[in-house]
Structure 1
């Protein structure tokens, strides 16, 4: 009996086990690690699209490339969460809030303009989210904000680089013309504050509106001011209009522009009138003209080739700012051993010797940009292209 019952009992036990197994969930597969979330709000459309468009293209290109190579931090993929603020400060604030509170990003790289950056800056500070701005004005990092950093050279540096060049050309009486935007106003103020240090006297101070399409009235006043040179503090399409009108009113004085127009788009918009214009800019625009021993040459040459090969369009320094922002962020995460925001912030502040498209970056507790005047190159438009002023 026993021998006959054992198979029966075994059969019932096996059947019960199979039934129980059917009710259990399938075995869990190893879950992919959480992605590293990079947030961005950029002016991809609107009047500052010449900034935001190459910035977004750059972030997308390198996120795709890094993920294809295996990701970061031991296999974590990058996830780019980006919004187009169209240059509107209120939209930028809304998107920054969404990135922090809803999207739960680990870090923000963005803010194409000074206005959009300044609108979002308090939110990053309050939330304790590392924020690397791509805008130029001094107030972004002065006074130092705990959680805020930036990649572009400042407007004050642009003023100083221009004044150094003017000194070398024995130009001391300069006329100033500037736009009404946040960057324009900030650069105008920085130029006024630093002029005396370089022996520069401003003999005129004219302004134009964001929607102005003709600046001949202001330039006619400048023509009679006794100026030896003219400095246009501005970005966007305004400086191209100033440049065209400059020649139309018969001005032949040296004309300086800001690094806010450091792209071939400015030359295209200005046409032949841009010939001879000088401006300070990053080495990226003249990568092919840099000497072989220049520390930046391989970095800017590689970025330029990657961007132009993929998008079939000219590189700009603005896309370079986004490249530097992303690489600084990833280097800091690597140094921090993860995405802990406080540790990443501390690692950003401790950045030393990073060679980027904007220059060699050495940050500190008192300097959240880390560039000095040597990071700027003085360029001149010659025969419709950039040349390096020796």
Structure 2
């Protein structure tokens, strides 16, 4: 074989190799990592969250993907265990080498994973509620739902509008309830509301009559606020009705779903809570910028899964859409570029609210993003 022919053959081989390499790059997926409580005591959070992520990753890929690449969802079920969440977060950043994480159904799972996420410098959008997740700001951690502090503020704004200034507080001793209690006590002091009774219950308790009896017997208590999630708030609600307490009753955003109404039954009549407008989309005025977003998500989810939509699935929707917006704004999967893009998101209309992020605010929402809902005739009604 002549030298000239050898040179041509070598050039052809290099060209083919370059083409194969370029094709491989183009076909490389963008990896979205997630750890969620799909089974276990917090499955009412993680199950709709995972269904939402799967549905919209499929839809985004059908529409051409992001940055010309397909999304790949890599998910683990932490079963509501903080230690499992830590282990799966480690796997996502070290073995799977994901580009961004959307997950963390509970505060405990989120906070267990935060040190690894910060160390690995992986952008993370948490779906959990406690204020500690994003306050103080952590460089790589962002938060999708409103905080428990905002929920407490929004509830007490409504109380003040109703002329209520003295309340009883009952809360769970789990991470969400404990943090919610702390934020409520702090917010009440600043808003001129006096907490006359302050009692708690364990997540394993099956009856809260004793705690509520003490509140009922205090004639100065004008309203009662429960901060908790899971099945416990439904037990509190049933016990509240059984004791015949006829004062205004509030729950937190931790039970903003139709499944709570199923558990609480007629006992829930008249209670109020702060929530996104997802549960009452048709009640929004036509010029509300959230209305088309909320309606589209609700219709798509219920058509795909043949079950009622929940606030918690909406957190996953907003988290994924924020991740996509940041990737597109960054123009790459470079982690620092994506992190900076997340910090600069402004006016992003989601199901939960309109997000305005900044280096000083990794949540981008305020208490006004909550709507006050009341249970009327066994269904949710928009109050304001």
Q: Normalising by the residue count of structure 2, what TM-score does the alignment of the two structures yield?
A: 0.94
Q: Stretches of 4+ moved more than 6 A in 1?
A: none
State yes or no: 1:38 paired with 2:40: no
Partner in structure 1 of residue 118 of structure 2: 125
Give 1:80's aligned residue: 73
| DSSP-derived class of the 2:259 partner | helix
Deviations 1:126-152 (A, max 9, x none): 110000000000000010000000110
SS at match of 2:246: coil
Tell me which residue corresponds to 1:146: 139
Q: Secondary structure at the match of 1:135?
A: coil
Matching residue of 2:301: 307
Residue 97 of structure 1: how far off its partner (Å): 0.3
Q: Alpha-carbon deviation of 1:33?
A: 2.1
- Hey, what's the Cα distance between the residues in 2 that align with 1:83 and 1:376? 30
CA separation in 2, counterparts of 1:373 and 1:221?
30
Offset of residue 338 of structure 1: 0.8
Residue 274, structure 1, aligned to residue 248, structure 2: no
Cα-to-partner distance string for 1:316-364 (whole Å, 9 max, x where unaligned)? 1111110110010111010111100000000000010000011110011
Deviation per CA, 1:230-279: give whole Å up to 9, x if none: 00011111100000011111111111000000100111000000000100
Aligned counterpart in structure 2 of residue 52 of structure 1, from 34, 41, 46: 46
Tell me the equivalent position of 2:101.
Answer: 108
Q: Hey, what does 2:167 align to over in structure 1?
A: 174
State the partner residue of 1:198. 191
Ranges in structure 2 where 5+ consecutive residues have no aligned partner = none
Secondary structure of the residue that 1:174 maps to in structure 2? strand
Q: How does 1:1-390 map to 2 (within 5 A)?
A: 30-31=23-24, 32-74=26-68, 76-226=69-219, 227-390=221-384
Task: With the length of structure 1 as denominator, give the TM-score of the two structures.
Answer: 0.93
Q: Name which one, 1 or 2, has greater alpha-carbon Rg.
A: 1
Deviations 1:285-342 (A, max 9, x none): 1111100000100000000000001001111111111011001011101011110000
Offset of 1:171 from its aligned partner?
A: 1.0
In structure 1, C-alpha distance between the alignment counterparts of 2:28 and 2:209, rounded to whole Å: 57
Which blocks of at least 5 consecutive residues in structure 1 are unaligned? 1-11
SS at match of 1:351: coil
Q: Aligned partners of 1:79 and 1:141: how far apart in 2?
A: 26
Provide the alpha-carbon RMSD of the alignment.
1.8
Counterpart-to-counterpart distance in 1, 2:367 and 2:199: 27
Number of residue equivalences: 372
Deviations 1:87-122 (A, max 9, x none): 100000000000000000000000000010000011
Cα displacement (A) at 1:196: 2.1
Give the superposition deviation at 1:72. 1.0
The whole-number CA distance in structure 2 between the counterparts of 1:285 and 1:153 is 16
- Cα distance in 1 between the residues matched to 2:140 and 2:65: 25
SS at the partner of 2:34? strand
Q: Secondary structure of the equivalent of 1:195? A: helix
Distance 1:65 1:179 in 2: 38
- CA-CA distance at 1:372 after TM superposition: 1.4
The separation in 1 between residues aligned to 2:77 and 2:190, in whole angstroms, is 40
* Per-residue Cα deviation, 1:48-75 (whole angstroms, up to 9, x for no partner): 111000000000000111111111102x
